[in-house]
Amino acid sequence: NPYILATLLFGLGLGTTITFASSHWLLAWMGLEINTLAIIPLMAQHHHPRAVEATTKYFLTQATAAAMLLFASTTNAWLTGQWDIQQMSHPFPLTLITLALALKIGLAPMHTWLPEVLQGLDLTTGLVLSTWQKLAPFALLLQIQNLNPTILVTLGLASTLVGGWGGLNQTQLRKVLAYSSIAHLGWMILILQYSPSLTLLALLTYFVMTFSTFLVFKLNKSTSINALAISWTKAPILTSLTPLVLLSLGGLPPLTGFMPKWLILQELAKQDLAPLATLAALSALLSLYFYLRISYAMTLTMSPNNLTGVTPWRFSSPQLTLPLAIATTATISLL
């Protein structure tokens, strides 16, 4: 029903906006809750057992994270007598809140729900989950002063490594995208302490790249790597561009995805964290491997049933192609 859909999307926007605009922990928590409640019906809309299972998993993790956040902010108010997000000083609530927000966005080692949940959703809802749902917790993380650098670096490094290792043996595209999301979030968290503007830049470029990747897979109606092998007959032009999009997501130099990684490594080196920068750069190689695998399946293999006579050269859905064209161009040639 379009009215219900509009209401839910409005709720999604409202929750994020409330969290953005709040300087009081209770209000921030309320925004996160509205956000979660709005996306749950969107996730379960197809009434498929996998979708229902994914929704339940998502609801439980988000409720746990929100409860933890509320508990930590109440503890903070009890210990220091104030609710302001900017004025956090006590280390105990600070640590708890960092962990709660990490659970909310799916940073390693609290990441295990993300691939499972994303696998049960359709690509559109998956896109919302991978992009829009990350905004509110990130806004809170950016607002909190004096975060514990050790925790952030540990979370960030664990995420880049887990995001690299986890995606290696996946055949399902949504799970690969989930692990890629974990790896990208790790990069953002690594630099959060030293340069918040770089975190925002990385988040923005990640959004653009993920948007185009999800749209490509949606247009191909493919959810596994095997299904990509026949995409050449469906949309040849798109298929020849997709490897560039994927390599941009992996962070190869002439493409957009290289920019945030380059700047982040530079900043880490400036902060005398060369070993950390080296580890992060090496973990990016792991991610690069599975992006290359998808590219290989799409462009370097001949499809078994190459029906060139019946190739639909024109795209069937015009409302997808304009955003796809913009996003793909931005992903490939923004640098």
Give per-residue pLDDT as tens, 214-246: 999 998 888 999 888 888 777 778 888 899 999
pLDDT band for 316, please (50, 70, 90 cuts). low
d(CA 161, CA 141): 21
Asked if 228 contacts 294 with a C-beta cutoff of 8 angstroms, the reply is yes
Q: What is the pLDDT of residue 165?
A: 95
Tokens 């990640």, located at residue: 206
Q: What is the pLDDT of residue 305?
A: 59
Q: What is the pLDDT of residue 310?
A: 53
d(CA 112, CA 177): 14
Q: Model pTM?
A: 0.94
Give per-residue pLDDT as tens, 236-283: 788 888 999 999 999 999 899 999 999 999 999 999 999 999 999 999
Asked if 176 contacts 167 with a C-beta cutoff of 8 angstroms, the reply is yes
Asked if 220 contacts 235 with a C-beta cutoff of 8 angstroms, the reply is yes
d(CA 47, CA 43): 9
Q: What is the pLDDT of residue 301?
A: 75
Give per-residue pLDDT as tens, 128-187: 999 999 999 999 999 998 899 999 999 999 999 999 999 999 999 999 999 999 999 999
Percent of the chain with pLDDT over 70: 96
pLDDT band for 29, please (50, 70, 90 cuts). very high
